[in-house]
Amino acid sequence: MAINLVKGQKIDLTKGRSSLSSIMVGLGWDPVATKKSGGFISNLLGGGGGGGADVDCDASVLLLDENGKLTAKENLIYFGNKKSKDGSVVHSGDNLTGEGDGDDEMINIDLKRISPSVHRLVFVVNIYNAQKKKQDFGMIENAFIRLVDNQSKEELVHYNLTENYAGKMSLITGELYRQGTDWKFSAIGEGASEPDIGSIANKYS
């Protein structure tokens, strides 16, 4: 049974799970509903959000060293670079709308293949062309990040990002980090003003 986290919580993924070697990180979101008939939840939330325009969100992961630095462009995994150099991280590709249930984008991670120089994996969602389209995360709802054991298909962790991120164009959802021989996960849920993944990457360079 998955452990539901709240912002700031951490969990040890591999302690007591020596067989855990491959995980799927699923990220999901929905555009805020606007004037949909019969939508109780939509009415409750008040609708809104730029006249129902499509919001194209992109998930990315930054592979950082022990000092929290992005030391090579190959360590930025996103729709334009779907596989890490060591093959440990593979991105599923881009979902243009975020509509529908379940994971919108998935990142598969082979824990055993991650380079020893990588100590943190930071998961980010940003809005494509946010400035040009004048869009922000106030137009997005039901955002989440979850971790699944690829072997057993068991959901290990689920974190719903419930804050109001209006005005923010990027979202740092969580991070996977190494501690000795164990891997741990931290629920972050911080909005950022950087308009694209390149700007986010520069913060860690």
Other beta carbons less than 10 A from residue 36's beta carbon: 11
Can you give the three-state secondary structure of 39-71, one letter per residue? CHHHHHHCCCCHHHCCCCEEEEEEEECCCCCCC
pLDDT greater at residue 15 or residue 37: 15
CB 150 within 8 A of CB 24: yes
Q: What are phi and psi of 59, to 5 degrees?
A: -95, 140
In a domain, residue 139? The reply is: yes
User: Does the structure show a pLDDT above 50 at 40?
Assistant: no
User: Does the structure show a pLDDT above 90 at 171?
Assistant: yes
Residue pLDDT, tens place only, 98-108: 455 689 999 99
pLDDT of residue 102: 81
In a domain, residue 39? The reply is: no
pLDDT of residue 97: 47
In a domain, residue 37? The reply is: no
Percentage with pLDDT > 90 across the chain? 68
pLDDT of residue 109: 97
Task: State which residues form the domain around 195.
Answer: 3-31+56-204
In a domain, residue 167? The reply is: yes
Report residue 49's pLDDT band, with 50, 70 and 90 as the boundaries: very low
Other beta carbons less than 10 A from residue 63's beta carbon: 26
In a domain, residue 109? The reply is: yes
User: Does the structure show a pLDDT above 50 at 43?
Assistant: no
Mean pLDDT, residues 13-23 taken together: 90
In a domain, residue 36? The reply is: no
Mean pLDDT, residues 93-121 taken together: 82
Report residue 55's pLDDT band, with 50, 70 and 90 as the boundaries: confident
In a domain, residue 175? The reply is: yes
Number of domains in the chain: 1
Domain of 100: which CATH number? 2.60.60.30
pTM: 0.86
User: Does the structure show a pLDDT above 90 at 71?
Assistant: no
Contacts of 26 (CB under 8 A, 6+ apart): 102, 103, 105, 106, 144, 145, 146, 147, 148
